[in-house]
Amino acid sequence: MNILIFGPNGSGKGTQGAILKEKYGMDHIESGAIFRSHIKGGTELGKKAKAYIDRGDLVPDDITIPMVLETLAKSKDKGWLLDGFPRSLAQAEALDKALESSGMRLDYVVEIVLERKIARDRIMGRRLCVNDNNHPNHIAIDAIRPAEKDGKLVCRVCGGELSTRADDQDEAAINKRHDIYYDDKTGTMAAVDYFKKKGNVKVISVDGSVPIQEVTGLILKQLA
């Protein structure tokens, strides 16, 4: 099964993606995480992408599109859940074309709908676990508040160390990422509309403002 998952930064898309990956045994491909691992590894691609990411800008398509398509091809047999791509109408069109020519089929599009202000507040408070970025930890949401050990906040799932992402604490970078997401002319909302209008793939839209388990329930109910 191949799925695209959409949602503004802060909508819980990564958390839901990790749950779906576990349930269906598919690969969870996160474009942002691939970039961060390139930056950490000091690769040429990472060096080129870093300045864009720090500002909250999109990394140019000539870097991003081939990187994502190569990763998808490796997961052809297992199936994939793609998170963070496409982020623009142009990327949606490129993906659609590439899937057609590679014989891969898109089965579902999952869209997590969340108001911009709620998404922004959620980003600032989220904390990332060193062992798994998708272990949910948030300093302002009771249900997923980090645990405490020796007076320090640690991951509520595994006790791992917590950190923040620089682009999550920078209001200008958050605003830019959301400008891109909520842009329904050429941005990410336009990419979602592209698949809605195409009509040959089931689009599952769920309310992202309810607790994590409820969002999961809403998605699973329709992923039959």
* Pick 57 or 184: Cβ nearer ligand AMP: 57
Least Cβ distance, residue 18 to ligand AMP (angstroms): 13
Least Cβ distance, residue 85 to ligand AMP (angstroms): 4
Least Cβ distance, residue 150 to ligand AMP (angstroms): 30
Does 215 belong to an annotated binding site?
A: no
Residues at the contact surface with ligand AMP, assessed by CB under 6 A? 9, 31-32, 35, 52-53, 56-59, 64, 84-85, 87, 91, 177
Least Cβ distance, residue 117 to ligand AMP (angstroms): 18
Q: Annotated catalytic residue: which of 21, 122, 127, 177?
A: 177
Least Cβ distance, residue 148 to ligand AMP (angstroms): 27
Q: Is 127 a catalytic residue?
A: no
What sign results for the dihedral spanned by CA atoms 82, 111, 11, 209?
negative
Q: What is the 3 state secondary structure string of the chain?
A: CCEEEECCCCCCHHHHHHHHHHHHCCEEEEHHHHHHHHHHHCCHHHHHHHHHHHHCCCCCHHHHHHHHHHHHHHCCCCCEEEECCCCCHHHHHHHHHHHHHHCCCCCEEEEEECCHHHHHHHHHHECEECCCCCCCCECCCHHHCCEEECCEEECCCCCCEEECCHHHCCHHHHHHHHHHHHCCCCCHHHHHHHHHHHCCCEEEEEECCCCHHHHHHHHHHHCC
Q: Annotated catalytic residue: which of 13, 21, 120, 127?
A: 13
* Pick 85 or 194: Cβ nearer ligand AMP: 85
Does 12 belong to an annotated binding site?
A: yes
Q: Is 122 a catalytic residue?
A: no
Which residue has the CB atom at the shortest distance from ligand AMP?
A: 32
Q: Is 145 a catalytic residue?
A: no
CA 118, CA 92: separation in Å to the nearest integer?
A: 26
Q: Is 177 a catalytic residue?
A: yes
Q: Under 8 Å CB-to-CB from 97, ≥6 apart: which residues?
A: none
* Pick 148 or 184: Cβ nearer ligand AMP: 184
Q: Is 126 a catalytic residue?
A: yes
Task: Please report, in range form, the residues annotated as the binding site.
Answer: 10-15, 31, 36, 57-59, 84-87, 91, 126, 165, 177, 210
Task: Please report, in range form, the residues annotated as the binding site for AMP.
Answer: 31, 36, 57-59, 84-87, 91, 165, 177
Task: Please report, in range form, the residues annotated as the binding site for ATP.
Answer: 10-15, 126, 210
Catalytic residues: 13, 87, 126, 165, 177
